[in-house]
């Protein structure tokens, strides 16, 4: 239940040193990012800090990933903004509803862990996830451009169209000083992501450390722009919007009254956020665990993320998950165990106690720049191109998911994508690979007559179905058999080779029975070959099937030839 203790059983001084450094570096990244993501979710900036204090500590005790850094993340932040759009303007209600949403997400995680249903995440295909993330990133950018340029913008908007329209309608309201600060911060961040690591590396710094240093650029941007505001009085003289007084102190624990209708109303959003958060976190945790030959337990992760979200809800904060950029920093900075996460959490707690007065004159445009640069990294054109090259149908689903999120809103877009990818899976499942096979001369092997030179017999038809028989594909199997028999009217025996059949469902069984009876009336006897043990046991449980089956069940398809072909000579076929 507490994977942390496993990590601590062999804990050394060197481990503590590495974890401390990583924890500090991650905290430096996390402070501005957490505030920015809270603003993205439509919340006051300190909420992001609250979500970065207790949740990573709770996760550290329960999570199996040693390096996953938990806190507010951009995609779920925009999902929160979209879910709570109706409450925008009423700060009290907005905050209260965020807590209910976070609590609900935590409970969903724990319920899924209890039911061991982590596998549900398997139904989110990579195409849908990639399309969803790209579209969410575009939404995030559109959502933050107003703050970057000092334009009022629309809160709680959920489609790109309304977002872009709002920006264009209010372009006259642009505050030049804000735009200047915002663009400067963005340029610093963009440059920081590239040149300094390269520069530092050339100056002899270890490349890993150069990378880590590059990640502290957000804090530098915050310090530089806040200093500029203070020195030049940009807020009072030029109207640059700042964060304003950030209440200090640790979060107080809240208890919420139970409002059933609100819980029900938020349920779809909570499910969508849980699904995305879980899949992102577990994928990230697995990639990192693979690199260090560690194992991640999917169910335990659900439990840990659930507990982290409950901790977030009880500290008046927002939904949390494993975040990509900060986990990468934590890993690159050398985190060895969950202790690094505990150190990060404690440092955020300390900053809440000591540093919040410093945030008051931080320009909002800097936070917008941090969000935009983080979101831009989520736009994944490579996957679109790669998927298009490899498989058109998946690429179409990916593009439809993007379009759906941008045009219909974030949750409906996700539902559209998941629905389409499941349908395409079902559609493919309904079209099994079926082959007429013949014997490779001189062997007992059977191969596709279209691909190999094999022997066949006019009165015998061997068909191999490379799929389980189920209600979705049985009609196609039947049609294939009937079409092939029409082309081989001398056939008197049909041998169904079931080497790839692991299961026959009850609908398929009835259709199969009907097929066997129908063909018998037509003078064709149906036999089976290479039926696997469990399938055979299933068939024998059904009295009707035992009676309906006039043919035999052969261990090997080749056994059927001696018995059924009689004196018939094989025909050597060479089709292509």
Q: Which residues of the chain form contacts with a second copy (CB under 8 A)?
A: 119, 121-127, 287, 290-291, 293, 295, 386-387, 389-391, 394-395, 421-422, 425-426, 428-430, 433, 451, 466, 468, 470-476, 482, 500, 502-503, 505-507, 509-511, 514, 518, 521-522, 533, 538, 541-542, 544
Q: Of 93 and 510, which CB lies nearer to a second copy in the complex structure?
A: 510
Helix, strand, coil percent values for the chain (each to nearest 5): 65, 5, 25
Q: Give strand pairing partners of 454.
A: 573
Q: Give the SS3 label for residue 378.
A: coil
Q: How far is the CB of 67 from a second copy (least distance, A)?
A: 15
Q: Of 260 and 390, which CB lies nearer to a second copy in the complex structure?
A: 390
> Is residue 99 a contact partner of residue 370, using CB atoms and an 8 Å limit?
no
Q: Of 254 and 447, which CB lies nearer to a second copy in the complex structure?
A: 447
Sign of CA dihedral 205, 206, 209, 210: positive
CA 243 to each of CA 80, 120, 296: distance values in angstroms, whole numbers, following the listed order: 20, 40, 39
Instruction: Extract the runs of DSSP E, i.e. beta strands, from 387-533.
Output: 434-439, 446-448, 454-456, 460-465, 493-497, 525-529
Q: Of 521 and 567, which CB lies nearer to a second copy in the complex structure?
A: 521
Q: How far is the CB of 464 from a second copy (least distance, A)?
A: 11
Q: How far is the CB of 76 from a second copy (least distance, A)?
A: 22
Q: How far is the CB of 69 from a second copy (least distance, A)?
A: 21
Q: How far is the CB of 68 from a second copy (least distance, A)?
A: 17
Q: Can you tell me the distance from the alpha carbon of 209 to that of 194, in angstroms, rounded to the nearest whole number?
A: 14
Q: Can you tell me the distance from the alpha carbon of 158 to that of 409, in angstroms, rounded to the nearest whole number?
A: 5
Q: How far is the CB of 38 from a second copy (least distance, A)?
A: 32
Q: Of 126 and 552, which CB lies nearer to a second copy in the complex structure?
A: 126
Q: Of 532 and 552, which CB lies nearer to a second copy in the complex structure?
A: 532
Q: CA nearest 379: which of 36, 127, 20, 134?
A: 134
Q: Of 503 and 575, which CB lies nearer to a second copy in the complex structure?
A: 503
Q: How far is the CB of 469 from a second copy (least distance, A)?
A: 12
Q: Give residue for tokens 């594909």.
A: 473
Q: Can you tell me the distance from the alpha carbon of 76 to that of 109, in angstroms, rounded to the nearest whole number?
A: 15
Alpha helices in 466-505 (DSSP H): 474-487
């Amino acid at each position: 239940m507490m994977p942390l203790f496993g990590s601590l059983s062999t804990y050394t001084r060197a481990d503590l040193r590495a974890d401390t450094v990583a924890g500090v570096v991650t905290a430096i990244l996390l402070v501005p990012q957490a505030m920015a993501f809270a603003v993205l979710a439509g919340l006051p900036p300190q909420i992001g800090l609250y979500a970065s204090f207790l949740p990573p500590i709770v996760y550290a005790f329960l999570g199996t990933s040693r390096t996953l850094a938990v806190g507010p993340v951009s995609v779920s932040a925009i999902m929160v903004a979209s879910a709570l759009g109706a409450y925008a303007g009423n700060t009290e209600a907005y905050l209260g509803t965020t807590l209910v949403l976070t609590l609900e997400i935590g409970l969903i995680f724990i319920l899924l862990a209890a039911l061991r249903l982590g596998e549900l995440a398997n139904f989110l295909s990579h195409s849908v996830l990639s399309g969803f993330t790209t579209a969410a990133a575009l939404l995030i950018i559109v959502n933050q451009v107003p703050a970057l340029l000092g334009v009022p913008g629309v809160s709680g908007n959920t489609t790109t169209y309304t977002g872009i329209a709002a920006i264009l309608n209010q372009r006259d309201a642009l505050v030049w000083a804000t735009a200047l600060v915002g663009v400067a911060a963005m340029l610093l961040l963009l440059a920081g992501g590239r040149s300094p690591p390269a520069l530092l590396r050339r100056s002899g710094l270890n490349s890993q450390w150069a990378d880590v240093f590059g990640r502290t650029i957000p804090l530098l941007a915050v310090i530089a722009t806040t200093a500029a505001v203070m020195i030049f009085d940009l807020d009072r003289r030029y109207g640059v919007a700042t964060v304003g007084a950030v209440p200090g102190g640790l979060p107080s624990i809240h208890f919420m009254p139970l409002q059933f209708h609100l819980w029900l109303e938020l349920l779809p959003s909570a499910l969508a956020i849980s699904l995305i958060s879980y899949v992102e976190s577990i994928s990230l945790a697995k990639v990192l665990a693979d690199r260090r030959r560690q194992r991640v337990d999917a169910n335990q992760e659900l439990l840990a993320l659930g507990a982290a979200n409950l901790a977030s809800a009880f500290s008046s904060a927002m939904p949390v998950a494993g975040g990509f950029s900060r986990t990468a920093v934590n890993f690159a900075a050398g985190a060895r165990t969950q202790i690094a996460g505990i150190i990060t959490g404690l440092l955020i707690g300390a900053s809440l106690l000591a540093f919040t007065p410093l945030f008051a004159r931080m320009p909002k445009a800097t936070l917008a720049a941090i969000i935009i640069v983080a979101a831009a990294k989520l736009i994944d054109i490579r996957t679109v191109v790669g998927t298009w090259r490899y498989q058109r149908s998946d690429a179409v689903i990916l593009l439809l998911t993007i379009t759906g999120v941008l045009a219909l809103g974030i949750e409906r877009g996700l539902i559209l994508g998941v629905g389409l990818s499941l349908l395409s899976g079902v559609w493919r499942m309904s079209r099994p690979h079926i082959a007429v096979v013949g014997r490779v001369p001189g062997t007992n092997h059977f191969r596709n007559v279209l691909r190999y030179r094999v022997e066949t017999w006019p009165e015998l038809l061997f068909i191999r179905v490379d799929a389980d028989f189920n209600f979705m594909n049985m009609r196609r199997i039947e049609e294939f058999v009937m079409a092939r028999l029409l082309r081989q009217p001398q056939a008197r025996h049909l041998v169904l080779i079931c080497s790839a059949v692991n299961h026959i469902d009850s609908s398929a069984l009835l259709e199969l029975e009907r097929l066997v009876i129908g063909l018998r009336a037509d003078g064709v006897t149906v036999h089976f070959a290479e039926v696997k043990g469990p399938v055979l046991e299933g068939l024998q449980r059904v009295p009707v099937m035992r009676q309906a089956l006039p043919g035999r069940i052969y261990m090997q398809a080749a056994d059927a030839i001696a018995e059924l072909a009689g004196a018939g000579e094989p025909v050597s076929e060479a089709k292509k």
